[in-house]
């Protein structure tokens, strides 16, 4: 093991050692992990990957840890579902859902980044970890910190959904709610990381954390039979995941694990928090921060850390970006549930609704393969749909009362 050469500035290329650093001291560019791809190419084959356990760690040479994973060794390898029913409704030929709503252990793709970051935090010798979160990251850090015997602090906006709060508190972590939005929380966390010397996974461990997202991309490619799809639609918050899917595809091509790929990456946001899709649609790479106002709280980031790079990933790939209203995202959640039996959270509703929009606009041709990224679980954001569903009838435990309901249903069906 050990194909990590060090860190490298994404802008000026300045090299840095494998340490908990995240910003270039020359140009303030973000640091990224620098791998020895020649060395990896000599050992990593499809056969070796396929011989390993069905987790994200089957690609461990491409993850920034020195030894075996010590946290979250069971995370990943979620289903890639061939979504024929949804394909029929959307009028497309070949559609898949990459379903991280069932990721282990906390039902979102954030388990991947946390497994990577906390393994790294242990290697660095940290005793306390934490994060700034829009919900899912807090769930994942709290749960996996327990596994790792690390103390954790989860800092979140005060108004998150109940499922996200309970799904963090249950692990006995320290939760601090902030009067403010995610962008306020994030800034505070930078100050906390500096002052207390903790590993804040998405601040001072960000270069390592982000690499975990690549496995979401690797799995799509492997599960398609070592092939890249024509289109992947990705929800964007800080904009990290979409850039890491791009990186995953490029690495697999470079290593000869797949042939040339020409995958268009499409970004999805909620209209109430759409700084990245707005930039793409206005054909600029300058991100104008916004004050988020949407029920899609897990992706409500007004000043996205990787905004600039996500615009670049989209443009270089030839993809596009769209955003949808809260009503449209609720319809997206219902559509996926009622065609594929998958209950996703608000972010997934955004992605489904944006996919529909891009197909209708002709940005995604109907005869090309499409992957929809479902990144989180609907049981955590029940508020979004609770009053949008049929209210069930209540009867006594009596067959005649049940018969009366059936008679009503028959009458309605006959009238149609």
Ligand X SMILES: *Cc1c(COP(=O)(O)O)cnc(C)c1O
Residues forming the site for ligand X (CB under 6 A): 108, 110, 136, 235-241, 298-299, 345, 347, 375-376
Q: How far is the CB of 27 from ligand X (least distance, A)?
A: 23
Distance CA 416, CA 222 (A): 46
Distance CA 244, CA 110 (A): 13
Q: How far is the CB of 209 from ligand X (least distance, A)?
A: 10
Instruction: For residue 257, count other CB atoms closer than 10 A to its CB.
Output: 19
Q: Where are the alpha helices (DSSP H) in 297-364?
A: 307-317, 326-340, 346-360
The CA-based diameter of the chain, rounded to the nearest angstrom, is 78
How many whole angstroms from its chain centre is CA 416? 42
How many whole angstroms from its chain centre is CA 221? 16
Over its C-alpha atoms, the chain yields an Rg (Å, rounded) of 22
Candidates 316, 317, 319, 274; CA nearest to 293 is: 274
Closer to Zn ion by Cβ: residue 6 or 105: 6
- Contact residue for Zn ion among 3, 4, 20, 24 (CB under 5 A): 24
Q: 340 near 73, Cβ under 8 Å?
A: no
Closer to ligand X by Cβ: residue 44 or 371: 371
Closer to ligand X by Cβ: residue 69 or 349: 349
Q: How far is the CB of 124 from ligand X (least distance, A)?
A: 22
Q: How far is the CB of 299 from ligand X (least distance, A)?
A: 5
Distance CA 55, CA 123 (A): 20
Q: Is residue 305 close enough to count as binding Zn ion by CB under 5 A?
A: no
Sheet with 151-157, edge to edge strand ranges: 174-178, 151-157, 128-132, 199-200
Closer to Zn ion by Cβ: residue 24 or 370: 24
Report what 232 binds from Zn ion, ligand X, none; CB cut-off 5-8 Å by kind. none
How many residues form the binding site for Zn ion (CB under 5 A)?
Answer: 8
Distance CA 132, CA 62 (A): 26
* Adjacent-strand bridge partners of 32: 8
- Contact residue for Zn ion among 1, 2, 19, 27 (CB under 5 A): 27
Residue 71 gets which letter from DSSP?
S
Candidates 94, 102, 137; CA nearest to 117 is: 137
Report what 11 binds from ligand X, Zn ion, none; CB cut-off 5-8 Å by kind. Zn ion
Q: How far is the CB of 43 from ligand X (least distance, A)?
A: 29
Q: How far is the CB of 301 from ligand X (least distance, A)?
A: 7
Closer to ligand X by Cβ: residue 257 or 302: 302
Using CB under 5 A, which of the segments 24-32, 225-233, 265-273, 309-317 binds Zn ion? 24-32
What residues have CB less than 8 Å from 219, skipping those under 6 apart? 56, 76, 77, 78, 80, 98
Closer to ligand X by Cβ: residue 71 or 236: 236
Site string for Zn ion, 346-385 (x = CB under 5 A): ----------------------------------------
Q: Is residue 25 close enough to count as binding Zn ion by CB under 5 A?
A: no
Report what 258 binds from ligand X, Zn ion, none; CB cut-off 5-8 Å by kind. none
Closer to Zn ion by Cβ: residue 14 or 175: 14
Q: Is residue 26 close enough to count as binding Zn ion by CB under 5 A?
A: yes
Closer to ligand X by Cβ: residue 263 or 297: 297
Q: What is the full DSSP assignment across 48-78? A: HHHTS-SSGGGGGGGSS-SSS--S-TT----
Q: How far is the CB of 201 from Zn ion (least distance, A)?
A: 22
Closer to ligand X by Cβ: residue 87 or 245: 245
Q: 296 near 273, Cβ under 8 Å?
A: yes
Q: How far is the CB of 376 from ligand X (least distance, A)?
A: 3
- Contact residue for Zn ion among 5, 23, 29, 79 (CB under 5 A): 29
Distances (CA, A) of 134 to 145, 213, 301, 322: 18, 17, 8, 21
279 token code pair = 């930039």
Q: How far is the CB of 284 from ligand X (least distance, A)?
A: 19
Residues at the contact surface with Zn ion, assessed by CB under 5 A: 9, 11-12, 14, 24, 26-27, 29
């Amino acid at each position: 093991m050990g194909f990590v050469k060090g860190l490298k500035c994404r802008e000026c290329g300045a090299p840095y050692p494998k340490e908990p650093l995240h910003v270039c001291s020359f140009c303030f560019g973000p640091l990224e992990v620098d791998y020895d791809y020649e060395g990896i190419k000599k050992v990593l084959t499809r056969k070796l990957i396929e011989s390993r356990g069905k987790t994200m760690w089957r690609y461990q040479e491409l993850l920034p840890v020195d030894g075996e994973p010590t946290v979250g060794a069971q995370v990943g390898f979620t289903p890639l579902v061939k979504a024929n029913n949804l394909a029929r409704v959307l009028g497309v030929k070949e559609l898949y859902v990459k379903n991280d709503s069932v990721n282990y252990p906390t039902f979102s793709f954030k388990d991947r980044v946390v497994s990577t970051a906390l393994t790294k935090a242990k290697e660095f010798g940290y005793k306390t970890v934490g994060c700034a979160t829009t919900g899912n990251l807090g769930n994942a850090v709290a749960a996996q910190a327990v596994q790792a015997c690390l103390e954790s602090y989860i800092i979140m906006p005060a108004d998150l959904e109940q499922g996200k709060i309970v799904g963090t508190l249950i692990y006995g972590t320290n939760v601090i709610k902030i009067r403010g939005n995610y962008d306020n929380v994030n800034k505070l966390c930078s100050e906390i990381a500096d002052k207390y010397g903790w590993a804040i996974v998405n601040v001072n461990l960000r270069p390592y954390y982000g690499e975990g997202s690549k496995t979401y991309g690797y799995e799509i490619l492997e599960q398609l039979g070592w092939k890249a799809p024509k289109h992947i639609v990705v929800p964007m918050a800080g904009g990290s995941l979409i850039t890491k899917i791009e990186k995953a595809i490029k690495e697999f091509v470079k290593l000869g694990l797949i042939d040339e790929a020409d995958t268009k990456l499409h970004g999805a946001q909620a209209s109430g928090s759409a700084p990245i899709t707005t930039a793409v649609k206005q054909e600029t790479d300058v991100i104008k921060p916004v004050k988020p106002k949407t029920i899609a709280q897990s992706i409500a980031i007004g000043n996205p850390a990787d905004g600039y790079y996500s615009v670049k990933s989209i443009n270089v790939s030839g993809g596009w970006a769209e955003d949808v209203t809260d009503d449209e995202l609720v319809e997206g959640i219902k559509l996926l549930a009622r065609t594929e039996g998958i209950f996703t959270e608000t972010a997934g509703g955004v992605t489904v609704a944006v996919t529909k929009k891009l197909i209708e606009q002709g940005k995604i041709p109907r005869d090309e393969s499409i992957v929809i990224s479902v990144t989180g679980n609907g049981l955590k954001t029940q508020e979004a749909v609770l009053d949008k569903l049929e209210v069930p009838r209540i009867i006594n435990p009596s067959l005649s009362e049940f018969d009366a309901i059936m008679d009503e249903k028959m009458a309605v069906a006959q009238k149609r």
